[in-house]
Copies of this chain bind each other. A is one copy, B any other.
Amino acid sequence: MKEIEEGSSLQLDFTKLRKVAQAASPVLPVVVQDADSREVLVVAYANREALDHTLKTGVATFWSTSRNELWIKGATSGDTLQLVDVRVNCEQNSLLYLVRMVGSGVCHTRDAQGETRRTCYYRSLKEGELTFREGIK
């Protein structure tokens, strides 16, 4: 079990953004939201190429800042995210992708039943501890 992902202790990783910012290609944060349930599913990053690929194919695409390559979410599993809308914030420094899930979830983790979790935000912070929100909307 990975404590970070499956534990109840808060161990925030403040190093990620610095790594993202040091990637060869400049990126924006992308909030991915389910167009129907309006659940926030994941935050990822996109460069110009990833955005262009998303618009051209209608499939949510990101930039993997660790692998320095296009990351077409679900390309291997078939669980892609079909694009419904792309929104841009006031300062044009972040994106919001509204999507429909082809598969059952976007998170790379699995719940106690072995199912892919719908959203990466499956834990709430309550009195300093992480509590699991499984089955709760």
Contact = CB atoms under 8 A, between A and B. Distances in A.
A92 B4 contact: yes
A121 B87 contact: yes
Interface of A: 4-5, 10-18, 20-22, 26-29, 31, 33, 38-40, 42-43, 45, 47-48, 51, 55, 85-94, 96, 107-109, 117, 120-125, 130, 133
B29 A12 contact: no
Copies of this chain per assembly: 2
Given A33-B40, A120-B90, A125 B16 contact: no
Q: Quick one: which of A12, A22, A120 has the most chain B CB within 10 A?
A: A12
Given A14-B48, A31-B43, A86-B125, 14 more contacts: A4-B90, A4-B92, A10-B88, A12-B28, A13-B91, A16-B93, A17-B29, A17-B93, A29-B43, A40-B96, A87-B124, A87-B125, A87-B133, A96-B121
Contacts of A26: 14-15, 17-18
B13 A121 contact: no
A16 B85 contact: no
